[in-house]
Amino acid sequence: MFGIILGLIVLMVLAYLGWSIIWVAPIAAGVVALSGGLDLLEAYRDTYMGGFVDFAKEWFPVFMLGAVFGKLMEDTGMARSVAAALTKVIGTKRAVLGVLASAAVLTYGGVSLFVVVFAIYPLALSLFREANISRKLIPATVALGAFTFTMTAIPGTPQIQNLIPMQYFQTDAAAAPVMGLIAALIMAVGGYYYLRWREKKMAEKGEVFTEPKDKNVLEEENEKDPLFVLSLLPLLTVLITLNILNWDIVIALISGILLIMVLNYSKYKRFVQSMNNGAGGSIVAIINTSAAVGFGTVVREVPGFERLTELLMGIRGNPLISEAIAVNVLAGSTGSASGGMGIALEALGSKYYDIAMETGISPEAFHRIASLASGGLDALPHNGAVLTLFAITGMSHKDSYKDLFVVAVLIPVISVIVVIFLASIGIL
């Protein structure tokens, strides 16, 4: 137990300091292996790399195709077209809602979180300028739309945080829809009204829009973007084929990619570069998550894991509580929703599935809680997506993290608590 806790501390501290989890995870796994009486070299070559390779083998096509799909949406102008059309309908007076809705639609349509940040920022800048809202709220607004309810809560979302639990609980992407929708409402409505409240408070203090120092971010391509209706079709294709036709996520993403290329055939010269960039970007994402899963595999092999399991399973009340705690703590430790959930489910997924079979609690409930819990403490300051968001928007943690924490950490954690409570008293 001491070794597992020490390994988690090493993982969390080094990740927080900005060290890459690609080599932090093996170090932390080594701490766990040595303290647990495992042979260090064998634990790395067989146990750690076994978990690493198994996860990569299972999920690399989804990571790669998802990144390619998002990059093509960005480079063809389709992502920008969808965002611009939505904000035009909503209006500049409701700039926060416009940016939030645009990020949400793109994320729910299958565009990766990192691509959404790049696609939405120029639009957010324009809207916040017209509405005279402080740029300090841009990171939190984008995060609410991309990092929360569309990532983990809305049934059928093709984001990886909603797909990983499927293999552990024998479920589909639309698992526990009522649970997901209630959590989504809490996150979306609660986050939106918090941001509106903050907008008014900042205006009262005289904090309004100021131009960014980097003028390059204001430059946009002169070419005309595709029509909104056509730009929406690839997003709908992924959602419909995945959730209604029940196609495998790989086939669903391929369908979306092919449709983007057909609808933008005149831009074929940029397809190869876009696909190369998307595929290249997916490598880091899949290796980061696989490294975290490898750590979980080593944890599962040491004797202390049985004690850890007893402690988690011994938490009084609904077993969904212990699952939520495990996933949230590990997501916070790794700074990664998918990585933390991967560790937790690799180590404890089979236990929770057995509990579902024994107690009659639906495996779908375990799926949804795992997904929801992964999107809470993951957005702590060392999270990769948070760091990218601040870098793109030109904001610092001091400027904007407090608001981002409320909408992307605090409210999502509250939504999990509410959903578990409703499930525990028999409402769900």
Query: Could you tell me the CA-to-CA distances from 70 to 86, 164, 253, 294 in Å, in that order?
Result: 18, 19, 10, 27
pLDDT of residue 223: 66
pLDDT of residue 216: 46
**pLDDT digits 0-9 by tens, 36-49:** 999 999 999 999 99
**pLDDT digits 0-9 by tens, 147-198:** 999 999 999 999 999 999 999 999 999 999 999 999 999 999 999 999 999 9
Residue 351 · residue 306 · CB < 8 Å? no
Q: How many CB atoms are located within 10 Å of the residue 398 CB?
A: 8
Domain ranges of the chain: 2-424
16 Cβ partners below 8 Å, 6+ apart? 335, 380, 381, 382
**pLDDT digits 0-9 by tens, 278-290:** 898 888 888 887 8
CA distance 139 to 58: 32
- For residue 221, pLDDT over 70 is answered with no
pLDDT of residue 158: 94
pLDDT of residue 74: 84
Query: Could you tell me the CA-to-CA distances from 160 to 119, 239, 263 in Å, in that order?
Result: 19, 14, 26
pLDDT tier at 386, thresholds 50, 70, 90: confident
177 Cβ partners below 8 Å, 6+ apart? 155
Helix (H, G, I), strand (E, B) or coil at 221: coil
Q: What is the dihedral of CA 224, 230, 234, 235, to 10 degrees?
A: 90
**pLDDT digits 0-9 by tens, 224-246:** 789 999 999 999 999 999 999 99
Mean of per-residue pLDDT scores for the chain: 89
Residue 131 · residue 98 · CB < 8 Å? no
Residues of the chain with pLDDT > 70: what percent? 97
CA distance 393 to 135: 8
DSSP-assigned letter for residue 6: H
pLDDT of residue 230: 94
Residue 320 · residue 356 · CB < 8 Å? no
pLDDT of residue 393: 87
